[in-house]
Amino acid sequence: MANALERQQGHAERREQEEDEESKTFEELGLEPSLIRALIKKGIEKPTPIQEVAIPLILEGKDVVARAKTGSGKTFAYLLPLLQKLFCESESRNKLAPSAFVLVPTRELCQQVYSEVLSLIELCRGQLKVVQLTSSMSPSDLVASCADLVPNLL
């Protein structure tokens, strides 16, 4: 019985080592150093499988539809390439409208995405304006949220 358990543990450890050897770094996926440093400060050192697939495709400008379990890294899979593009754009253009619009199905997910975006922008020392809009806001609050400066990200 003990031998079978040891063999199973050995197989699991070998699989983890193989996965570590095969997994790519954020740098290999094409992310800018400032975003990579921000991720490291957040304790994220390597991409998840969904990020390994989605980030390079999004950086190439391709449309991506992906499905993965909760907690698999989907939010960063689209936010990281989006922020990289916005950081590059923000220095070079006068904007008349938002550059990006993220639509999520729940207020809780909206808050999560908003918090992560703000955190990454702060850690990257980026100069982007982000606005969180929800269905419970009054029309005057919606207008006021966007009144001062045109946001980069809604």
Instruction: Answer whether residue 17 is part of any domain.
Output: no
The total domain count for the chain is 1
Q: Which residue range forms the structural domain that includes residue 42?
A: 24-147
SS3 22: helix
| CATH, residue 68 | 3.40.50.300
**In whole numbers, what is the pLDDT of the chain averaged over residues?**
84
Question: Tens digit of pLDDT for each residue in 69-82?
Answer: 999 999 999 999 99
- Distance CA(29)–CA(108), nearest Å, equals 29
pLDDT attached to residue 12: 46
Instruction: Answer whether residue 12 is part of any domain.
Output: no
Q: Token digits for 22?
A: 């095969």
pLDDT attached to residue 9: 55
pLDDT attached to residue 23: 85
Instruction: Answer whether residue 126 is part of any domain.
Output: yes
Instruction: Answer whether residue 124 is part of any domain.
Output: yes
Instruction: Answer whether residue 153 is part of any domain.
Output: no
> CB within 8 A of 73, min separation 6: which ones?
47, 48, 50, 51
pLDDT attached to residue 5: 45
pLDDT attached to residue 92: 63
Instruction: Answer whether residue 13 is part of any domain.
Output: no
- Distance CA(86)–CA(126), nearest Å, equals 9
Instruction: Answer whether residue 8 is part of any domain.
Output: no
pLDDT attached to residue 50: 96
Q: What are phi and psi of 40, to 5 degrees?
A: -65, -40
Spatial CA neighbour of 118 closest among 106, 100, 130, 127: 130
Residues of the chain with pLDDT under 70: 1-21, 90-97, 149, 153-154
pLDDT attached to residue 10: 54
Strand partners, 100: 153
Instruction: Answer whether residue 11 is part of any domain.
Output: no
